[in-house]
Each structure stands twice: as C-alpha cells, then as structure tokens.
C-alpha cells in the first residue's frame, strides 16, 4: 500500500502548492476509520481508497478530489458522519464524499424502471459536481483491477455493469484510456477464452512479422523529419477487447483484420497537425471513408484530433491520430482536464470544456423524455454515440450519433420538421429515409402538410429525441383506441385478483406511478408500454404476489363476450405470445387459431364468424400442448437424453409416438406442454443444439380436432 508520504509526493509532482498537511490528515483519518476492515483478497480495506486516490493523481486532480478518494467509503462503511468530515476537511470535501456515497448506493443494473430513475440521480449528481463521477470511475477501475478475489457470480455482475455503464460513461467524458482499460478488464471476466485467443494470435503475429509497432513508428518519424515537423510519435497494439469488437462488427476473423495498430503524433502547433497529415498521406495511401477532422469539428467533451487510416507496410492498415500537446491533455483527461493542475496552479487549457456547460448540453435533451424508458434510451444512446457532422442547405452544422438517418436529422432540427417529413436529399440526390448519414454530407428534408409519423419509423431512427417524438405522435393518434383496449386489460387484470378497475382505483394507481391521469395510464396499458400486472401490483402488492404467478387457462384469452368459451385449434396449436384470431363454430364456441393458420382460408369469406382476440399478458401455466416433429439418431440412450433435455427446460411430455423407424434414425412426434411462445423457443433451441437431433419443427395437422381451452 502507498504510504502517506508517497501519496503526497505524487500530488506534489504536479501541484507543488498542495496542502500536504490536509492530505496526510485525511490519510490518517481514513486509515483509522477503516481499521479492522478487510477486502475479499485479505488485504486491509484502506488499500482500496489509497489506490483510488493514486489513480486520480495520474489525472493531476485538485486536493479536494484526492482527499475525497481517501474518504469516499467512510460515511457509508464506518462510524464517520457527514458533519464530522465537514468539520475536519471542509464542506466541499463533505459534499463530494456524500455524493460518492449516494452513487455507490445506486443499483444501475437493476430493473428497467428503477435503472432509469437511478440514471436520473446519476446525472443529477454529475450536474452538481462532476468530480463525484471522476472518483466513482477511479473507484470502479481499481475494483476491476482487483476483481479476481470476488466470487465468480459477483465478478460477472460487476463486469457486465462496467461494460454497459461505466466504460461508456468514461468514454463519453473523454477519458478514452480509462474506457479502454475498463472494457478490457470486463472482457477478461465475461469472455476469458475470447480474450486469450486474441492475445495468442497477437503473440503468433509478432513472432511472424517482428516488432511492427517500432518499424512503423520509425517510418513515421522519418517522414516528419523530412518535412521539418517537430513532433513526438507513439505506437501501440490495440487492446484485446477493441480488436474483438472490430471482429464482431466487421464479421471478420483475426487474420483478415488489418487496423489492429494505432499511432499517435503529438505536434507543437495546430498548423503542424495538418502539415503532418499531408506528410503521412504523401507517403502512404489513405483509406477512403476513414478520415475524421475533430479539430475543426470538436466533440462536445472537448476532444480534438485528426484521425486517418492509411495502408502502411505490407498493405497493413494503421490508424493515425494527430493532435497538439494541449489537445492530447484533453484527449487523455477528457472533462477532467478542467481540474488539472500544473506547477501548483489550475492548468489553463483553452481546449478543456467547462464541465457545467458540458453536463448542460448532455442533459438538455433528456428533459423532453416523458417516462423512465425514454429517459433510459436517451442516456444510453448519448453515452454510446460517436458523432457524425452534417450540413443544412444554409451551411449550418448538425451533430448526430453515428448511424443516424435523414429522419434523425429532421427531428434534430425541429419536431415539426420530423413529423411532416416525406423524403430527403443528401448532397442533392433523393435517398430513402433509412439511409445512414456520413460525415460532411449536406441534407435537405422534404415535408408535406398532413404527413404523420409511421410506426415503421421507430426502426429507422437511432436518436432518443426522434424515437420519443415519434412515440408521442403515435400515442396521440392511437390514443382513443389504446384507452379502450387498456380499459379491457385493466378490467381483466383487476378481476383476476378479485377487484374492480374503478375510475378511483385507476386514478390512485396513476398517481402512484407518476402519471398525469388515469386516461394516460389506460393509454399506456393499451399501447403495451405498461403491463396490467404492474398496475395491479402498485395497488394490491399482497394480492398480486399471491395470484400473479400464473394466469388461469380459462382466462387466458381476451376478447370473448361473457358467455363465450374457447378452445385452441388442434391444427396450428397457438400458444400465448403468438398473434391469434377466433372463429365461431356452432356448438363448439370459439376456436382460437394462429393468425397464419392455413385453415383460416376456408372461412375468409365469412367475416361474421371472426372474433378479434389476444392472449392475456402475464405468466401462463405450462398447459398449452405443442406437437414437435423431430428426427433423431437411432442410437442407444438418445431418446432418453432428448426427454431429459425437454424436462430440464421445465416442459412436460404429454404424448409421444413414432412415425418412422429406420436403422440409422427415428422420426417421431412429441407432444410438449408449454407456457408460451418464449418457452417453446427455449425448448426448440435446446433441442436444436443437441447433436443427435437431425431435424426439428412444429407439427401442423389441418385435420386435428380443437384442444381444450
């Protein structure tokens, strides 16, 4: 563990005016508070806060942030209090420690609704003081570096949370080095074999080609010297996870992946950046479509650099980044560069973004989110976005995330433009609305009065703003229909627990769920944005807990009149989750068919017999029989393994008969009792993965009689 003197020296190296006494007192106080506490590895617990503080010294952060790191777990895990920390170290440190404590208690990987609410709290903490997030990121980085001592299940949970939340957040804040390390540490836990395979291939490649990085670095230095450009050149192989992600995105094997090396040129001036770019492009051929100028169009977190990819030695692609020393400091520290010290004073970096303005720009577009899901979608899209820059016909710049379409562009200008969009021109040429925009393109939107957003647009757009606007418009258009359907769903759900869906009950539920009215609640029920079970659980948690496990088979279908009964069609054997329709039969009530059942052709000219039905939402009992037609190997023990496999998926075999027996295979029909279509897919997936199953499909028999409802 680093002692107090070593930590003070680390801070003193970049801030000679540091308050050494205050840091030492914080060190001693934190160590005393955590005395007797140990980590899973068996080390003293205080080794962790000290390591977090050391990580933050690498970013040259101020004394308050370093002291916060030393004390960040005291209020939560020891007898220390907010008032005591404030009295000893000042209100600024106490506020920061309290902020980190609150973040630690957020379960960011919990259920969707709770996760969205916790993200709101996360961004609120960021808006108060971004240093809270910097301490939390350093805390997560050290925990990931030492994750091996945790139980495996906890390792996986922490690694997934790191990959989904903390790594993208670090990237969004401009700390690319931290993002890459967090991703790679999480990758080591989530896919150790994949990571090891990348490392093994790298070792083989180096053995075959020698030290490529040193050779290319020397080549670049030579070209810069010829052009009289003074600069530092660094090269490295990309992290295993970055390579794995490229392999996944491009669907290529390691041997076909070319740009696995990255090089960085740090120049003395901005003009030298462009001179260096010219020297590189004169020496090597530029790869089309791989040039980005973030100097003339900086990212919102202050990042500035020129990116280009060229064909280097032996046709190998290499990525080159060119920037000045000031730009490099921001690229390394991101938003944290605002607090960085040099020689005892706050470093004046003209490229460092003001954290208050940055967080305001990040959160302003979240304000339009109507509910938890939309907010969560906004946040995740914002954190993962890599920007493209397009131009309006007047030459103004519009920033969009990578993969954005003309529809995203239209909604980015104004909701009214997006809602009335009927077409788009890119660089003067008419293109489909699903076209992916590229850097530097000029976009013109064609509108028409009376045009309304289409449901298919949701699959075209990628920005949270566009998705929210389209959903809002569709919701308004279909509101009346959704309210009516939502009323029916609420009635059935409430009756299931012996209650009535009165207006007062629905108003109470709406208020409890943070919705403006009971009509809005019904509209969201009808549009499937809210489940009837969630509404019932809000008002009657005890009743819901006792009865929400399974839906009675007799009540599984919605849309029947009070005196109607139903049977499942034996020909298509529909299961919950599939689209269905009812056909009335004299003396047999309503027979429920899958919407794609061939038998429906026989009654297509008798619309008066058709009944609009849907399955009740929720968990159904495993009583819906489906016949599976399978061909299996004729070997000893195969049939037993198949039956065991089905049982392991919590499905029951109700019947089994052979259609054909050959010396090398059997063909048989197995009747399996299932809950719903998801349960069916689970069973079939497990069977398809079995090497002794040659063929598998659902058995459809047009002549089979209806089955009991």
Number of domains in the chain: 6
Judged by average pLDDT, the poorest of 87-91, 126-130, 451-455, 639-643 is: 126-130
* Last-in-domain residue among 346, 374, 389: 346
Q: Choose among 166, 99, 162, 98: nearest CA to 127.
A: 99
Are the beta carbons of 280 and 310 closer than 8 angstroms? yes
Q: What is the CATH number of the domain that holds 636?
A: 3.30.70.260
Q: Measure CA of the first residue to CA of the last residue in the chain; give whole Å.
A: 68
pLDDT of residue 111: 47
| Least-confidence region, from 51-55, 219-223, 268-272, 618-622 | 618-622
- CA dihedral 37→42→45→49, nearest 10 degrees, is -170
Q: Which of 507, 534, 549 is the last residue of a domain?
A: 549
226 and 177 in a single domain? The answer is no
pLDDT-derived band at 593 (thresholds 50, 70, 90) equals very high
Q: Are residues 374 and 409 located together in one domain of the fold?
A: yes
pLDDT attached to residue 272 = 95
pLDDT reported for residue 384: 47
CA 331, CA 305: separation in Å to the nearest integer? 8
Q: What is the pLDDT of residue 652?
A: 86
For residue 297, the SS3 value is coil
Are 322 and 267 in contact, with CB atoms under 8 Å apart?
yes
Q: Which pLDDT score is estimated for 387?
A: 64
Higher pLDDT, 379 or 634: 634
Answer yes or no: are the C-beta atoms of 262 and 318 closer than 8 Å.
yes
Beta bridge partners of 589: 585
pLDDT at 709 over 70: no
Q: Is the pLDDT of residue 551 over 50?
A: yes
Report yes or no on 352 lying in a domain: no
Question: Would residue 157 count as lying in a domain?
Answer: yes
Cα–Cα distance between 532 and 516 in angstroms, integer?
17
671-683 residue pLDDT tens: 999 989 989 988 9
Question: Does the pLDDT of residue 361 top 60, yes or no?
Answer: no
User: What's the CA gap between 221 and 233, in Å, rounded?
Assistant: 7
Position with higher pLDDT, 47 vs 336: 47
* Cβ-Cβ contacts under 8 Å for 157 (sequence gap 6 or more): 109
pLDDT at 372 exceeding the cut of 70: no
Predicted pLDDT of residue 539: 85
Asked if the structure places residue 351 within a domain, the reply is no
The answer to whether residues 377 and 457 belong to one domain is yes
Please indicate, yes or no, whether residues 165 and 48 belong to a single structural domain of this protein.
Answer: yes
At residue 577, the 3 state secondary structure works out as: coil
Query: Are both 389 and 448 inside the same structural domain?
Result: yes
The answer to the question of residue 197 being in a domain is no
Residue 693's φ and ψ, nearest 5 degrees, are -95, 110
Residue 513, SS3 per DSSP: coil
Look at residues 549, 570, 591 and tell me which one is the last residue of a structural domain: 549
Alpha-carbon distance of 578 to 69, in angstroms, equals: 53
- Asked if residue 239 and residue 146 are part of one domain, the reply reads no
pLDDT band at 98 (very low <50, low <70, confident <90, very high): confident
Which of the pair, 670 or 211, is modelled with greater confidence?
670
- The whole domain housing 584 covers 554-615
Nearest to 601 by CA among 572, 575, 579, 573: 572
One domain for residues 396 and 413: yes
482 vs 584 pLDDT, higher one? 584
φ, ψ of residue 44 to 5 degrees: the values are: -60, 140
Question: Which comes out higher in pLDDT, residue 293 or 125?
Answer: 293
The contacts of residue 603 (CB under 8 Å, 6+ apart) are 583, 609, 610
How far apart are alpha carbons 669 and 653 in whole angstroms? 11
φ and ψ at residue 706, rounded to 5 degrees: -60, 155
Checking if the pLDDT of 32 tops 90, the result is: yes
pLDDT of 113: 45
Backbone angles phi, psi at 492, to 5 degrees: -65, -45
Q: Are residues 69 and 139 in the same domain?
A: yes
Do 471 and 539 lie in a common domain?
no
Q: Is the pLDDT of residue 530 over 90?
A: no
Residue 92 · residue 65 · CB < 8 Å: no
Task: Map residue 146 onto helix, strand or coil.
Answer: coil
Residue 80 neighbours by CB under 8 Å, 6+ apart = 29, 33, 71, 74
DSSP string over 77-98 = HSS--HHHHHHHH-HHHHHHHH
Do 235 and 331 meet the contact criterion of CB atoms below 8 Å apart? no
Asked if residue 636 has pLDDT above 50, the reply is yes
Task: Name the pairing type of β-strands 261-267 and 317-324.
Answer: parallel
Residue 457 lies in a domain: yes
pLDDT tens, position by position, 171-186: 777 788 888 899 999 9
Instruction: Tell me how far CA of residue 462 lies from CA of 102, 117, 171, in angstroms.
Output: 32, 22, 19
Residue 49 is predicted with a pLDDT of 95
Judge whether 355 lies within some domain.
Answer: no
Name the CA dihedral angle for 280, 286, 287, 290, rounded to a multiple of 10 degrees: 60
**Averaged over 590-601, what is the pLDDT?**
90
* Per-residue pLDDT at 544 exceeds 80: no
Q: What values do phi and psi take at 208, rounded to 5? A: -80, -35
The burial of 676, by beta-carbon neighbours within 10 Å (0-12 exposed, 13-18 middle, 19 or more buried), is given as buried
- Nearest alpha carbon to residue 359 among 165, 130, 131: 130
Q: Could you give the percent of the chain with pLDDT greater than 70?
A: 84
The mean pLDDT value for 368-381 works out to 51
| CB-CB contact of 8 with 24 (8 Å) | yes
Per residue in 133-174, pLDDT tens? 889 999 999 999 999 988 998 999 899 888 877 887 787 777
What is the CATH classification number for the domain harbouring 247? 3.30.460.10
Same domain, 226 and 315: yes
pTM of the model: 0.53
The per-residue pLDDT for range 400-442, each reduced to its tens digit, is: 877 889 999 999 888 899 999 999 999 889 999 989 988 778 8
For 141, 158, 428, 537, the CA distances from 107, given in Å and listed in that order, are 17, 11, 48, 21
Predicted local confidence at residue 335, as pLDDT: 67
CATH of the domain at 77: 1.10.3210.10
> Both 181 and 305 in a single domain?
no
Cβ neighbours of residue 340 under 8 Å, at least 6 residues apart? Answer: 14, 59, 60, 61, 329, 333, 346, 347, 349, 352
- Strand order across the 693-698 sheet: 652-661, 665-674, 624-633, 693-698
Query: What's the Cα-to-Cα distance from 588 to each of 499, 564, 570, 573, 651, rounded to whole Å?
Result: 30, 10, 13, 16, 29
- Catalytic residue numbers, as ranges: 76-77
Question: Do 242 and 342 lie in a common domain?
Answer: yes
Percent of the chain past pLDDT 90, that is, above it, reads 29
Q: Is residue 67 part of a domain?
A: yes
Spell 196-206 as b/e; 16+ CB within 10 A means b: eebeebbeeee
Residue range 647-665: mean pLDDT, rounded? 84
Q: Cα 623 vs. chain centroid, distance in angstroms?
A: 35
**C-alpha distance from residue 701 to each of 202, 238, 283, 655 (Å):** 55, 56, 69, 16
Per-residue three-class SS string for 636-668 = CCHHHHHHHHHHHCCCEEEEEEEEEECCCEEEE
What pLDDT, on a 0 to 100 scale, did the predictor assign at position 276?
A: 95
What does the alpha-carbon distance between residue 513 and residue 506 come to, in Å, rounded to a whole number?
Answer: 10
Q: Between 703 and 177, where is the model more confident?
A: 177
Residue-wise pLDDT tens digits, 477-515 = 767 777 888 888 888 888 877 888 899 889 999 988 889
Q: What's residue 110's pLDDT?
A: 47
Tally of CB atoms within 10 A around 40:
12
Does residue 603 lie in a domain region?
A: yes
Angle at which helices 131-145 and 112-128 pack, to 10 degrees? 120
Rounded Cα gap, residues 298 and 352, in angstroms: 11
Q: Which residues pair with 346 in a beta bridge?
A: 341
Write out pLDDT tens, residues 103-120.
776 655 544 444 555 555
Measured between alpha carbons, how far is 24 from 431 in angstroms, rounded to an integer?
64
Which pairs count as long-range contacts for 188-193, CB under 8 Å and 24+ apart, including other chains? 188/159, 189/147, 189/155, 189/156, 189/158, 189/159, 190/156, 190/159, 190/160, 190/163, 191/244
């Amino acid at each position: 563990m680093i002692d107090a003197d070593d930590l003070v020296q680390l801070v003193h190296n970049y801030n000679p005016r540091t308050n050494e006494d205050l840091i030492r007192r914080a060190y001693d106080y934190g160590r005393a508070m955590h005395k007797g506490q140990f980590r899973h590895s068996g080390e003293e617990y205080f080794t962790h806060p000290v390591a977090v503080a050391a990580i933050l010294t690498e970013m040259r952060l101020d004394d308050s942030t370093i002291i916060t790191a030393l004390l960040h777990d005291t209020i939560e895990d020891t007898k220390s209090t907010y008032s005591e920390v404030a009295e000893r170290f000042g209100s600024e440190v106490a506020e920061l420690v309290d902020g980190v404590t609150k973040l630690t208690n957020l379960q960011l990987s919990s259920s969707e609704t709770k996760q969205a609410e916790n993200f709101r709290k996360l961004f609120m903490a960021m808006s108060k003081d971004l240093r809270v997030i910097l301490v939390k990121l350093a805390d997560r980085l050290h925990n990931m570096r030492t994750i091996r001592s945790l139980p495996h299940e906890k390792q996986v949970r922490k690694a997934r949370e790191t990959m989904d939340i903390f790594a993208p957040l670090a990237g969004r804040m401009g700390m690319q080095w931290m993002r890459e390390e967090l991703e790679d540490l999480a990758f080591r836990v989530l896919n150790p074999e994949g990571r090891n395979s990348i490392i093994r291939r790298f070792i083989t490649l180096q053995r075959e080609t020698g030290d490529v990085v040193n050779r290319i670095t020397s080549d670049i230095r030579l070209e810069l010297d010829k052009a009289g450009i003074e600069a530092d050149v660094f090269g490295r192989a990309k992290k295993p996870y970055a390579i794995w992600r490229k392999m996944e995105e491009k669907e290529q094997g390691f041997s076909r992946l070319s740009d696995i090396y990255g090089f960085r040129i740090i120049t003395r001036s901005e003009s030298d950046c462009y001179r260096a770019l010219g020297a590189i492009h004169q020496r090597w051929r530029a790869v089309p479509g791989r040039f980005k100028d973030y100097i003339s169009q900086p990212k919102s977190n202050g990042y500035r650099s020129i990116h280009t990819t060229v064909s280097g030695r032996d046709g190998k692609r290499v990525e080159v980044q060119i920037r000045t020393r000031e730009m490099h400091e921001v690229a390394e520290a991101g938003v944290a560069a605002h607090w960085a010290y040099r020689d005892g004073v706050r470093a004046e970096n003209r490229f460092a973004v003001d954290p208050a303005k940055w967080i305001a720009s990040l959160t302003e577009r979240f304000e339009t989110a109507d509910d938890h899901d939309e907010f969560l979608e906004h946040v995740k899209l914002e954190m993962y976005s890599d920007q493209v820059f397009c131009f309006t016909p007047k030459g103004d710049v519009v920033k969009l995330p990578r993969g954005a379409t003309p529809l995203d562009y239209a909604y980015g200008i104004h909701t009214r433009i997006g809602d009335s969009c009927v077409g788009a021109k890119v660089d003067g040429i008419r293109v489909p609305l699903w076209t992916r925009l590229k850097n530097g393109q000029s976009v013109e939107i064609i509108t028409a009065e009376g045009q309304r957003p289409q449901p298919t647009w949701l699959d075209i757009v990628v920005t949270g703003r566009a998705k929210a606007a389209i959903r809002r418009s569709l919701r308004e258009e279909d509101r009346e229909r959704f309210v009516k359907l939502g009323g029916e769903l609420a009635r059935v759900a409430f009756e299931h627990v012996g209650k009535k869906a009165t207006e007062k009950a629905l108003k109470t539920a709406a208020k409890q769920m943070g919705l403006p009215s009971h009509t809005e609640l019904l509209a969201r029920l009808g549009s499937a944005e809210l489940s009837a079970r969630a509404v019932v659980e809000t008002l009657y948690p005890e009743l819901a807990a006792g009865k929400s496990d399974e839906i009675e088979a007799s009540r599984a279908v919605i849309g029947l009149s009070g005196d109607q009964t139903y049977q499942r069609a034996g020909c298509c054997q529909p299961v919950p989750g599939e689209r269905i329709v009812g056909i009335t039969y004299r003396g047999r009530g309503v027979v429920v068919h899958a919407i794609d059942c061939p038998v429906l052709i026989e009654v297509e000219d008798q619309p008066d017999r058709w009944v609009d039905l849907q399955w009740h939402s929720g968990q159904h009992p495993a009583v819906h029989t489906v016949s599976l037609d399978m061909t299996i190997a004729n070997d000893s023990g195969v049939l037993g393994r198949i039956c065991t496999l089905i049982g392991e998926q919590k499905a029951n075999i109700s019947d089994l008969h052979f259609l054909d027996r050959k010396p090398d295979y059997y063909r048989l029909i197995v009747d399996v009792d299932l809950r719903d279509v998801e349960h069916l897919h689970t069973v079939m997936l497990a069977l398809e993965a079995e090497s002794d199953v040659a063929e598998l499909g659902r058995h459809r028999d047009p002549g089979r009689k209806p089955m009991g409802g």
